[in-house]
Amino acid sequence: MQRDDSPTTAPAKPVELRLDPSLARFRDEIRTFLSEEMAPERTRGHGDPSDLTGLDLEFERELQRRAAERGYLAISVPAEYGGGGRPPSWKAVWDFEAAYHDAPAIDTAVTLAASALLSSGTEEQKQRFVPPMVRGEVLWAIAYTEPDAGSDLGAVQATARRVDDGWVLNGCKALVTGSHKSDWCLTVARTDPDASPRRGMSMFVVDLRAPGVEHVRRETANRWTLGELTFRDVALPADALVGELHGAWRQLTSALVEERTGMAWLGWATRMLDDLDAWAAQAERPDAVGPLVELRAELAAGYRLADRVLALADARQPGTTEAAIVKVWATELLQRIARCALDLVGAEAAVWSPLFADDPPDVPLRGRIAYEVVERIHPAISVGANELQRDTIARSLGVA
Amino acid sequence: MGVLSLRGRCEAAEAAGRDGEASPLSVREITAEVARALDAPPPDAQTALVWSAITTGDPTDTGVEATAAGRAWQLSGKVLTVHSPAAIRTLLVASRSRPLGGRDRGIRVHRVAADAPGVRLEAATLLDGTQVHTVHLVGVEADDSDAVGPPRDATPALSAILDTAMVLAAAEMLGAASAAQAAASEWVQQRVQFGAPLSSRQVVQHRIADMAIACAAVRALVDDAVARAEAGEPFGTEAAIAKLVASRRLPDVTAAAHQLHGGEGYYADRPLHRWHKRVLVLSALLGGPAAQRQRLATLFSPPGSRAGA
């Protein structure tokens, strides 16, 4: 969406992430980069409501390439694979700022696939796949979920059958973000049909242009599409296996935790509250101040919870429960912000626009409130439904 | 008033809500009802109503100011229509005059050609796909020959229409929320995860129960407003209460249906989003909750009605 108000000109808020000086300098640097890259004159003409990012593939690839040139895209990937070698909190700050600026740089190959490959892949796989991710040259998707295996990955039915020179992959994968534009995906399939998925499921890399890969785009409630992949006798080479044979269960558990620092959610929440504060001031709506201040206080709680998750991640300590708490808090806060905005603004907030319309409607936040109110349904469902997060939290308290 | 009783219209609005379609009753028919209430011939299919009370819920708020210009009036303002025909030829514009020199004539409704000088229509889409327009009027000329109905203050007639519209909106939201609750109840009984139907988990059962409780509360309020109307009593307060409670609580019901359905329920080819979006749009029309709270505050305690109010 085109905006007159550049987010970087907003005055400093009393509620901020607590960053050490070197990380704060990095944040300032990427803020400048992202606000220049995402300026209305740059995004104009590149809107694509059918993609989750709201932007076309040309813009997305170019932005990722430029971010990679400056070392931002893979800031926390080890230096031996071309990354910045910084702690995970640096990547988290990148996610926050990318979300705040609506930049198509959140579901990147690095975010979705690098951690699984780096933690479980062979040296050959790391050398082959990670450097192109770091350079922003490839797009990856993750295709774990199936129609009957959503929250319950133990119900996966896809199979990979061992043959002389590799594997033959069959099955259906659902709710895949960005599969229509991706070059590669990570998937999981049963490799021991007689064992439970916990003991008989393996992870693979799949070339999405390989024969036997079929792809359908399905429109979501907010107009962008998710992918459904069908694998029909897809021949995988022997080195497509990632990690241990039958070992995908453990690998998935650790990979999903990495996705969940919560910073993108907090970035979107911050952006909405900044925009709503600006609206309330300009529209002279003193009655909006109380509800917006309360949401800002809840955002502060989100920041402080995230501080803890990032400290644990940087110390390479497990933080499953802490991550679950941030996930539930941040995703449900996003829903409350969107609903509160609709309640306060009223009818004009029901006018919908995709994020990057060349001619956005002349209403408060230019159609973003209606967009958000539909968009924020899915974070509470995806990346481990919030019900599963609550299970994790209850178990950690010994309540089970 | 209408051809149908309020009860019959509520039933039809609820059915429209269940179908997840924009109701012809709670929005489109308001235009016809305004004409009827003002003893004017029914508007054609290319007529759009320009009266911001449909968005603000305040019957005295027209969104358009009429300034005296000799024997005529000049109309200026910016109003969001809540439903627009595909092609608009005529606008029914409600306006208030600036009370200068004793010329406050309350609210009058004029017929204005959509291509008249000073009229600009900006197309927009509501989140449920409804096509609407922002109507910009700058010094649009109108005189008594353009007036709809005999020259009198339209405020009482419009106010009654707004009360009816609020009850109908609550009924339509109830239809959508009930349908979402029924769909969720069915889904959780058939969806098996972790070796058992979702409905075997007590937290899921309680969530369904909470959805049913919210629907029951709104149904009781809608029925109350209808009963008052049938008894010939004023029902403005009851209508506003039903609309506010529906606007605050029923989006939680349709959102819960989404949460229980998981990713599959988020697809556009599934019905859930249509119910959720319709409830969200209707919650924001006729005054969003923030506006409705203020309106109810004055209905509960009219200025000067009570010490300490």
Total Cβ atoms within 10 A of residue B8: 13
Q: Is B269 on the interface with A (CB under 8 A)?
A: yes
pLDDT band at A117, cuts 50/70/90? Answer: very high
Angle between helices B202-230 and B6-19 (to 10 degrees): 150
pLDDT band at A14, cuts 50/70/90? Answer: low
pLDDT above 90 as % of chain A: 85
pLDDT score at A143: 95
Contacts of B247 in chain A (CB under 8 A): 343
Identity of the amino acid at A270: T
| CA–CA gap between residue A107 and residue A111 (Å, rounded) | 6
pLDDT score at B99: 66
pLDDT score at A11: 47
| CA–CA gap between residue B255 and residue B211 (Å, rounded) | 10
Nearest CA in chain A to B203: A387
- In contact, B199 and B188? CB cutoff 8 Å: yes
DSSP reduced 3-state for A51: coil
Q: Is A150 on the interface with B (CB under 8 A)?
A: yes
pLDDT band at B180, cuts 50/70/90? Answer: very high
Option in B55, B56, B283 nearest A342 (CB): B283
- In contact, A58 and A228? CB cutoff 8 Å: no
- In contact, A349 and A369? CB cutoff 8 Å: yes
Q: Which CA distances in Å does B277 have to A372, B86, B154, B259?
A: 12, 21, 32, 15
Q: How many CA atoms lie within 13 A of B19 on its CB side?
A: 10
Q: B127–A373: do the CB atoms touch at under 8 Å?
A: yes
Residues B200-219 have a mean pLDDT of: 97
Give B151's contacts (C-beta < 8 A, 6+ positions apart). B105, B108, B144
- In contact, A376 and A335? CB cutoff 8 Å: yes
Q: Is B94 on the interface with A (CB under 8 A)?
A: no
Residues B274-291 have a mean pLDDT of: 92
Residue B307 vs residue A106, higher pLDDT: A106
| CA–CA gap between residue B37 and residue B165 (Å, rounded) | 14
pLDDT score at B27: 60
DSSP reduced 3-state for A67: helix
Q: Is A52 on the interface with B (CB under 8 A)?
A: no
In A333-352, the residues whose Cβ lies within 8 Å of chain B are 335, 339, 342-352
Contacts of A155 in chain B (CB under 8 A): 193
Residue B279 vs residue A153, higher pLDDT: B279
Residues A170-176 have a mean pLDDT of: 96
Position B28 pLDDT exceeds 80: no
Q: What is the pLDDT of residues B231-249, one digit of tens each?
A: 999 999 999 999 999 999 9
**If you count them, how many residues does chain B have?**
309
Q: Is B249 on the interface with A (CB under 8 A)?
A: no
Q: What is the pLDDT of residues A21-37, one digit of tens each?
A: 999 999 999 999 999 99
Contacts of B284 in chain A (CB under 8 A): 342-343, 345-347, 349-350
Query: How do beta strands B196-197 and B107-113 pair?
Result: unpaired
Give A193's contacts (C-beta < 8 A, 6+ positions apart). A159, A200
| CA–CA gap between residue A395 and residue B2 (Å, rounded) | 59
pLDDT above 70 as % of chain A: 94
Q: A226–B263: do the CB atoms touch at under 8 Å?
A: yes
DSSP reduced 3-state for A219: strand
pLDDT score at A283: 95
Q: B263–A342: do the CB atoms touch at under 8 Å?
A: no
pLDDT score at A5: 47
The three-state (H, E, C) secondary structure of A295-336, written as one string: HHHHHHHHHHHHHHHHHHHHCCCCCHHHHHHHHHHHHHHHHH
| From A10-24, A75-89, A192-206, the region with the lowest mean pLDDT | A10-24
In A116-135, the residues whose Cβ lies within 8 Å of chain B are none
DSSP states along B103-157: ----EEEEEEETTSTTEEEEEEEETTS-EEEEEEEEEEEE-GGGBSSSSS--HHH
pLDDT band at B40, cuts 50/70/90? Answer: confident
* C-alpha B119: how far from chain center: 24
Q: B126–A373: do the CB atoms touch at under 8 Å?
A: no
Measure A206 CA to nearest chain B CA, in Å: 23
pLDDT above 90 as % of chain B: 58
pLDDT score at A257: 60
Nearest CA in chain B to A225: B267
Q: Is B207 on the interface with A (CB under 8 A)?
A: no
| CA–CA gap between residue B183 and residue B181 (Å, rounded) | 5
Position B82 pLDDT exceeds 80: no
Q: What is the pLDDT of residues B145-167, one digit of tens each?
A: 888 877 778 888 888 889 999 99
Q: What is the pLDDT of residues B92-110, one digit of tens each?
A: 999 998 766 655 678 989 9
pLDDT score at B149: 76
Nearest CA in chain A to B274: A221
Instruction: Report DSSP state, residue A340.
Output: H
Query: How do beta strands B196-197 and A140-143 pair?
Result: unpaired
- In contact, B31 and B48? CB cutoff 8 Å: yes
Residues B261-288 have a mean pLDDT of: 94
pLDDT above 70 as % of chain B: 92
| From A212-216, B44-48, B136-140, the region with the lowest mean pLDDT | B44-48
Q: What is the pLDDT of residues A321-360, one digit of tens each?
A: 999 999 999 999 999 999 999 999 999 999 999 999 999 9
| CA–CA gap between residue A161 and residue B118 (Å, rounded) | 71
Containing H/E element for A27? helix A21-37
Tokens of A121: 């892949």
Q: Is B268 on the interface with A (CB under 8 A)?
A: yes
Position A1 pLDDT exceeds 60: no
Contacts of B127 in chain A (CB under 8 A): 350-352, 370-371, 373-374
pLDDT score at A256: 64
pLDDT score at A6: 47
pLDDT band at B309, cuts 50/70/90? Answer: very low
Q: B267–A362: do the CB atoms touch at under 8 Å?
A: no
DSSP reduced 3-state for A234: strand
pLDDT band at A169, cuts 50/70/90? Answer: very high
| CA–CA gap between residue B86 and residue B133 (Å, rounded) | 10
pLDDT score at B104: 66
| CA–CA gap between residue A105 and residue A62 (Å, rounded) | 11
Torsion angle in degrees (nearest 10) through CA of A232, A236, A242, A246: 60
| From A140-154, A197-211, A307-321, B144-158, the region with the lowest mean pLDDT | B144-158
Max Cα-Cα span within chain A: 72
| CA–CA gap between residue A379 and residue A382 (Å, rounded) | 5
Residues B207-220 have a mean pLDDT of: 98
Tokens of A99: 């979300």
- Which residue's entry shows tokens 């910084």? A86
Q: Is B77 on the interface with A (CB under 8 A)?
A: no
pTM, 2 dp: 0.93
Q: What is the pLDDT of residues A39-63, one digit of tens each?
A: 999 999 999 999 999 999 999 999 9
Angle between helices B155-190 and B236-261 (to 10 degrees): 20
| CA–CA gap between residue A269 and residue B76 (Å, rounded) | 37
Q: Is B259 on the interface with A (CB under 8 A)?
A: yes
Residues A111-115 have a mean pLDDT of: 90
pLDDT score at B2: 45
Contacts of A223 in chain B (CB under 8 A): 268
Residues A296-302 have a mean pLDDT of: 96
Q: A378–B263: do the CB atoms touch at under 8 Å?
A: yes
pLDDT score at B304: 66
Q: How many CA atoms lie within 13 A of B234 on its CB side?
A: 8
Identity of the amino acid at B57: G
pLDDT score at B1: 43
DSSP states along chain B: --SS-HHHHHHHHHHHHHHTS--IIIIIHHHHHHHHHTT-PPP-TTEEEE-THHHH--TT--SEEEEEETTEEEEEEEEE-SS--SS--EEEEEEEE---TT----EEEEEEETTSTTEEEEEEEETTS-EEEEEEEEEEEE-GGGBSSSSS--HHHHHHHHHHHHHHHHHHHHHHHHHHHHHHHHHHHH-EETTEEGGGSHHHHHHHHHHHHHHHHHHHHHHHHHHHHHTT---HHHHHHHHHHHHHHHHHHHHHHHHHHTGGGGBTTSSHHHHHHHHHHHHHTTS-HHHHHHHHHHHHS-TTSSTT-
Residue in B55, B59, B100 with CA at minimum distance from that of residue B81? B55
Q: Is B282 on the interface with A (CB under 8 A)?
A: no
pLDDT score at B93: 93
Backbone dihedral angles phi then psi of residue B302, each to the nearest 5 degrees = -55, 145
